[in-house]
């Protein structure tokens, strides 16, 4: 599953899965260390981000 906060999309194998998600907002990272909590014991995560200046 790809959660893209920049595009506002949730895709799995190219299929829109937004209606199958349960989140209030798209995830975001803060400067420094971030904790990511999951409800499954086995999962592979790849995180890509683009730094933004405000």
Q: What is the pLDDT of residue 29?
A: 83
For residue 18, the SS3 value is helix
> Looking at residue 19, what DSSP letter applies?
G
- Residues 27 and 3 sit within 8 Å (Cβ to Cβ): yes
Write the pLDDT tens digit of every residue in 23-54.
888 888 888 899 988 887 888 888 888 877 76
Q: Which two tokens stand for residue 19?
A: 């209606």
- The residue ranges of every structural domain in the chain are 1-25
Q: Express the helix, strand and coil content of the chain in percent, nearest 5 each.
A: 5, 15, 80
Q: Using CA atoms, how far apart are residues 12 and 53, in angstroms rounded to an integer?
A: 30
| Greater model confidence, 8 or 39 | 8
């Amino acid at each position: 599953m790809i959660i893209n906060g920049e595009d506002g999309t949730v895709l799995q194998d190219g299929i829109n899965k937004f209606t199958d998600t349960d989140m209030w907002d798209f995830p975001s990272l803060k400067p420094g260390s971030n904790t990511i909590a999951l409800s499954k014991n086995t999962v592979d995560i790849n995180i890509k981000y683009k730094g933004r200046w405000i």
